[in-house]
């Protein structure tokens, strides 16, 4: 019995450093993530106002014209009267209403002109056109 007790109390010849290296790698990864996350923005002290919830937020509306001539406002199918009425409501809420027009390349030119006429009659001047970038050949 006394021989077994002596062998249990013998000092170790080597130290297993694998857990210590794992911890060092985890700390390194955490440090890298926290450092890059804190650099992403500039801190400012925003002003406080009572009317913060009443301020109009600019919301871009998307008008899509499909190849078969279908017109969609955002994701909802509309006809020209519905488009005119909806855009008029959005225009009354936001006088600088931005609109993005996305037409299929095979869409009829007349349908695109109808949509542009509706926008012109409502005095919508912030109109963007969605296109694809041409690939270099």
137 residues of the chain, pLDDT tens digit each? 555 455 667 777 777 888 889 999 999 998 887 776 654 444 555 556 565 555 555 578 888 888 888 888 888 888 999 989 988 998 888 888 888 888 888 888 888 899 899 989 988 888 888 777 766 65
pLDDT of residue 23: 92
Residues in the chain: 137
Q: Is residue 95 part of a domain?
A: yes
CA-to-CA dists, residue 50 to 53, 59, 85, 94, angstroms: 8, 22, 32, 20
Tell me if 135 sits within 8 A of 96, measured CB to CB. no
Q: Is residue 53 part of a domain?
A: no
CB atoms within 10 A of CB 7: 7
Q: Is residue 36 part of a domain?
A: no
Tell me if 36 sits within 8 A of 74, measured CB to CB. no
pLDDT of residue 68: 85
pLDDT of residue 26: 92
pLDDT of residue 37: 60
**CATH number for position 118:** 3.30.420.270
Residue 107's nearest CA partner among 137, 76, 68, 79 is 68
* Number of compact structural domains in the chain: 1
pLDDT of residue 39: 47
Show the domain range for 90: 61-129
Q: Is residue 17 part of a domain?
A: no
* DSSP code at position 84: H
Q: pTM, whole model, 2 decimals? A: 0.54
């Amino acid at each position: 019995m006394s021989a077994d007790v002596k062998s249990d109390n013998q000092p170790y010849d080597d130290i297993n450093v694998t857990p210590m290296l794992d911890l060092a790698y985890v700390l390194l990864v955490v440090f890298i993530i926290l450092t890059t996350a804190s650099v992403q923005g500039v801190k400012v002290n925003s002003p406080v106002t009572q009317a913060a919830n009443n301020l109009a937020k600019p919301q871009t509306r998307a008008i899509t014209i499909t190849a078969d001539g279908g017109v969609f406002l955002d994701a909802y199918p509309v006809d020209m009267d519905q488009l005119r009425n909806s855009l008029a409501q959005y225009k009354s809420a936001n006088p600088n209403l931005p609109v993005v027009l996305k037409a299929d390349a095979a869409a009829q030119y007349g349908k695109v002109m109808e949509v542009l006429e509706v926008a012109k009659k409502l005095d919508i001047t912030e109109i963007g056109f969605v296109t694809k970038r041409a690939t270099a050949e």
